[in-house]
Amino acid sequence: MHQSLPARLAGAALLAVSYSVAAQEPVTTIPVQPLAEPAKPEVREIGFKVKSRGGFSIESDDGSAGFDIEGRTVFDVNYFDGFYNQGGDGATGSESELRRARFGFNGWYSKDWNYTFLVNLAEDTRNIDSTATTIDTAMVQYTGFKYADLTVGRFKRPVSLDILTSSNWQPLTELAYIWELAPANDITKFSVQASKLFEFGNKSGLVYQLALSDAYAEDEPTKSGKDHYALNGRLVYTPWVDKGRMLHLGLSYGDQNPGDGATTNVRSRLGVHGINKLTLAASQPIASDSQFGFEAAGIFGPMSFQAEYQNRSIGGAEGNADIEVSGYYLTGTYTLTGESRGYKRKDGRFDKIVPSNQRYGAIELVARIQSATVSPQGGTEVSADAYTVGANWYPIRAVKLALNVTQATVDGLDTGAAGDSGRAVVGRVQWVF
């Protein structure tokens, strides 16, 4: 049905009125938030400081991490006669050698982790295995525990004050020869060590060191299919340690636990590195090998002393005799220019002399007496005594020039036409960085 015209006009008017009313009502709007930019990760800028004082070091600005490039070159010239030159019937002989050429790095991360890697580029005396003249030290240390710093890798065992003191800062060119007569493989293939310094309020302190080491290698024993672990322990008490003033008392013990098929001998160069070792007790099968020692040292301004006694007991196997080895040394130093020897309390060992005068450096005078006896049960006792005087000049902190003169005698040792006394003069040039 079609609507009439008036009806259509009425509907259009009603629609127009409704649109007009709607247009006058407010329109609700929904705000739209702009999209937020993605959060940027916090970037921490780490700066580094580069140092070149005697070497090369990189350290973070906050000191939380860093490493040092280190190395040393040591060149020796030896002149000797008497029993030191048995091949020449005691006539004067000479030998020059690149004694050490080591290069590596050490570093730290946070306050709890330390590491060292050191390669030896020159032939040395640590003939422990085929790599002994290549890798000198490779170790990682964690110091975060309250009662123990843990060290793992290849490093010096806690045998004695003399051995633990770096060869860079030894007052004489050679260690006392009791460390050759004792089981002196101070670096083994692999070691695990716990150690810690406990400090007391009156400037005194106590250090303990306990190490378990793989490989008994005095004379390359027959492999028995299993490892044998040597145990070494050392205890050091310092009644006081202050700048230029220190007193050190210590004792040590070691059980080499050689295992089945092990053999050993007792040999030494008796203070001169440029010669072949002298055999004081021939190689033989052994069942046991242990040692104990006492040590004392002190620093009193420009003066210092150190002394150690060592006793070694070798138990023979397969009907071979037991052997007793004992000896001592006493070393005194005096720095003409007034500097004191350094001391690292954490490790219980001596450290470097730092020249205080940049014009002429530091000058140190040294003297040492030493004696040792090798006593095979039922055999011939061999004894050796030596006296050494020397001087060291440190023109700068990285360079050391040394001159040593040694007079020695032996008794009970077949030296042929070379006689039972010997003299040696050793000169050294050393650069450390």
Domain ranges in the chain? 48-432
Q: How far apart, in Å, are the Cα atoms of 170 and each of 227, 331, 430?
A: 33, 11, 12
Please give the average per-residue pLDDT across 323-336, as a whole number. 98
The beta-strand segments (E) located in 86-142 are 93-109, 113-120, 135-142
pLDDT tens readout for residues 6-33: 455 445 444 444 444 444 444 444 554 5
> Which of the pair, 390 or 213, is modelled with greater confidence?
390
Q: How big is the chain, counted in residues? A: 433
Cα torsion 238, 243, 245, 251: sign:
positive
pTM: 0.83
pLDDT tens readout for residues 28-67: 445 545 555 666 555 555 556 666 555 678 888 777 888 8
What is the enclosing helix (H) or strand (E) of 78? Answer: strand 65-80
Distance CA 172, CA 304 (A): 13
Distance CA 372, CA 385 (A): 7
Distance CA 288, CA 324 (A): 12
CATH H-level, domain 48-432: superfamily:
Porin (2.40.160.10)
pLDDT tens readout for residues 120-168: 886 554 444 444 457 889 999 999 999 999 999 999 999 999 999 999 9
**What pLDDT, on the 0 to 100 scale, is given for residue 10?**
47
Lowest-confidence pick of 180-189, 236-245, 281-290, 392-401: 180-189
**What pLDDT, on the 0 to 100 scale, is given for residue 227?**
63
Q: Which of 35-39, 41-45, 197-201, 362-366 has the highest mean pLDDT?
A: 362-366
Distance CA 306, CA 304 (A): 7
Count Cα atoms within 13 angstroms, Cβ side, for 270: 32
Give the three-state DSSP class for 223: coil
244, amino acid identity? G
Strands 65-80 and 349-351: unpaired
Above pLDDT 90, what percent of the chain? 60
**What pLDDT, on the 0 to 100 scale, is given for residue 177?**
92
Distance CA 433, CA 362 (A): 18
> What does the DSSP assignment read for 388-415?
EEEEEEEEETTEEEEEEEEEEEEES---
Query: With 80 as the cut, is the pLDDT of residue 370 above it?
Result: yes
Distance CA 120, CA 97 (A): 14
**What pLDDT, on the 0 to 100 scale, is given for residue 12?**
46
